[in-house]
């Protein structure tokens, strides 16, 4: 039986895919891995390179060639075809740290938890460490099976640290939005209501590379793809409204925090665009739609902004009907406060 499905979303990844896969094939328990490279309509040599690895490691690597329907589609098809007991995503321009990954896989052999968390590392394009990220706020809780409802607030849930039991994902009613960026937040959030327990390992398995100019999380990409980000905000807002009454207290709070943070980012994307009548109209429309779709998120989002300075600006602009938008833009750019992430 395969212990772990590693689902790799790959689009025009010929520059990165070899390093990504090389970090996996060095695993001591390669036969226990189900490595699915989902080629999302690449026009470069991504498919060719991936199929070569499939040929060399047919028991562990498989390639799914499909039309370009976006990151969400790679997760949806990955869940549908997964063979492993557990399921973890890996972007093709990132990689796993092989030494600790070996220990991680070994831990999964004895694991029965619904959710497994791991630490991760943020690196620059030269692979130098920028920051180490922990999946738990309390180090004493590592390596213990914990009740999810009572300990959810002590976790840091991101795509880079989560591994779900595959059976949970397969029974999940919700589907990840396709033809859209920024849907990793949906993947982080939707399965949580099915989780009963979890365990966390102090193992920095994932190396997350930041700084590529073409990444969807660059400020330039956020501006260009702001409508797609807005779509994900609405998807999460609707999900919250449809499920909040059946959520326990902690899950409701953490979901509200996730959705509120996403909404705040949407406002900030508009704030860093070049000011224009079109952008101002977009801000006002988003503000009105958010209020209509969830008065609770609209009213409480500032509280859930976790002390972000950017969050405190929003109620001021609401009071003055966003007439100070252009002035805000000048202040932001004067002080170079333009980072979105």
10-residue mean pLDDT profile of the chain (341 residues): values are 97 96 97 98 97 98 96 97 98 95 96 97 94 92 91 88 97 95 95 95 96 68 92 97 93 91 90 85 95 94 66 80 71 56 51
Which ranges in the chain belong to alpha helices (H)?
Answer: 17-25, 46-56, 71-81, 98-109, 148-151, 166-171, 184-189, 219-224, 226-243, 249-272, 277-293, 295-300, 309-319, 325-334
Q: Which of helix, strand or coil describes residue 252?
A: helix
Q: How many CB atoms lie within 10 A of CB 27?
A: 21
In sequence order, the β-bridge partners of residue 201 are 118
Q: Apex CA 157: angle with CA 84 and CA 307, to 5°?
A: 170
pLDDT score recorded for residue 5: 98
Q: Structure pTM?
A: 0.91
Q: Which two tokens stand for residue 156?
A: 């840091």
Q: What local confidence, expressed as pLDDT, does residue 221 receive?
A: 85
Per-residue model confidence (pLDDT) at position 217 = 61
Q: Say which residues have a Cβ less than 8 Å from residue 205's Cβ, sequence separation at least 6.
A: 96, 97, 100, 101, 104, 118, 119, 120
Residue 199 DSSP SS3: strand
Is 309 in contact with 335 (CB distance < 8 Å)? no
CA 297 to CA 294: how far, in whole Å?
5
Burial class (CB in 10 A: 0-12, 13-18, 19+), 321: exposed
CA dihedral in degrees (246, 295, 155, 79; nearest 10)? 60
Q: What is the pLDDT of residue 94?
A: 97
Q: Nearest to residue 263, comparing CAs of 194, 315, 325? A: 315
Question: Which pLDDT value is given to residue 334?
Answer: 60
**Domains in the chain: boundaries:** 4-209, 219-334
Q: Which residues contact 96 (CB under 8 A, 6 or more apart)?
A: 6, 23, 24, 90, 205, 206, 207
Tokens of 187: 């993947």
List C-alpha distances in Å: 188 to 69, 123, 228, 270. Answer: 20, 21, 17, 24
Nearest of 269, 234, 241, 266 to residue 255 by alpha carbon: 241
For residue 154, what pLDDT is reported? 85
What is the percent of the chain where pLDDT is above 70?
91
Instruction: Tell which CATH classification among 3.40.605.10, 3.40.50.620, 3.90.550.10, 1.10.357.10 matches the domain 4-209.
Output: 3.90.550.10
User: What spatial distance separates the first Cα and last Cα of the chain, rounded to whole Å?
Assistant: 39
C-beta separation of 223 from 273 below 8 A: yes
Long-range contacts, stretch 49-55, CB < 8 angstroms, 24+ apart: 49/14, 49/17, 49/18, 50/10, 50/17, 50/21, 53/21, 53/25
Region at 18 (left for phi over 0; alpha for psi -120 to 50; beta for the rest): alpha
At 96, phi and psi to the nearest 5? -95, 145
CA dist 271 and 304 (Å) reads: 19
Task: Quote the Cα angle for 105-209-202, to 5°.
Answer: 35
């Amino acid at each position: 039986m395969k212990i772990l499905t590693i689902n790799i979303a790959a689009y025009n990844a010929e520059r990165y895919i070899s390093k990504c896969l090389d970090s996996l094939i060095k695993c001591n328990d390669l036969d226990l891995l189900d490595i699915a490279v989902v080629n999302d309509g690449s026009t470069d040599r991504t498919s060719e390179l991936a199929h070569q690895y499939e040929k060399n490691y047919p028991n562990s690597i498989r390639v799914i060639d499909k039309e370009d329907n976006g990151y969400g589609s790679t997760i949806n098809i990955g869940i549908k075809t997964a063979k492993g007991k557990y399921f973890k995503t890996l972007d093709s321009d990132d990689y796993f740290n092989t030494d600790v990954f070996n220990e991680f896989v070994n831990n999964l052999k004895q694991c029965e938890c619904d959710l497994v968390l791991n630490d991760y590392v943020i690196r620059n394009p030269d692979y130098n460490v920028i920051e180490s990220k922990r999946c738990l706020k309390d180090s004493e809780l590592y390596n213990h099976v914990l009740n999810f409802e009572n300990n959810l607030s002590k976790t840091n849930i991101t795509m880079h640290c989560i591994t779900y039991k595959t059976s949970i994902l397969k029974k999940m009613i919700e589907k990840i939005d396709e033809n859209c960026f920024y849907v990793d937040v949906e993947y982080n959030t939707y399965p949580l209501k099915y989780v009963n327990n979890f365990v966390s390992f102090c193992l920095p398995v994932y190396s997350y590379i930041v700084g590529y100019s073409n990444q969807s999380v660059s400020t330039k990409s956020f501006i260009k793809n702001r409508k797609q980000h807005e779509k994900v905000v609405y998807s999460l807002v609707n999900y919250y409204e449809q499920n909040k009454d059946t959520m326990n207290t902690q899950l409701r709070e953490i979901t509200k925090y996730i959705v509120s943070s996403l909404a705040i980012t949407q406002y900030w994307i508009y704030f860093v665009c070049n000011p224009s009548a079109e952008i101002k109209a977009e801000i006002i429309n988003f503000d009105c739609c958010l209020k209509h779709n969830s008065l609770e998120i609209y009213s409480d989002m500032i509280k859930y902004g976790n002390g972000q300075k950017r969050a405190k600006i929003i109620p001021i602009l609401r009071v003055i009907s966003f007439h100070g938008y252009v002035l805000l833009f000048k202040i932001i750019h004067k002080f170079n406060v333009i980072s979105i992430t």
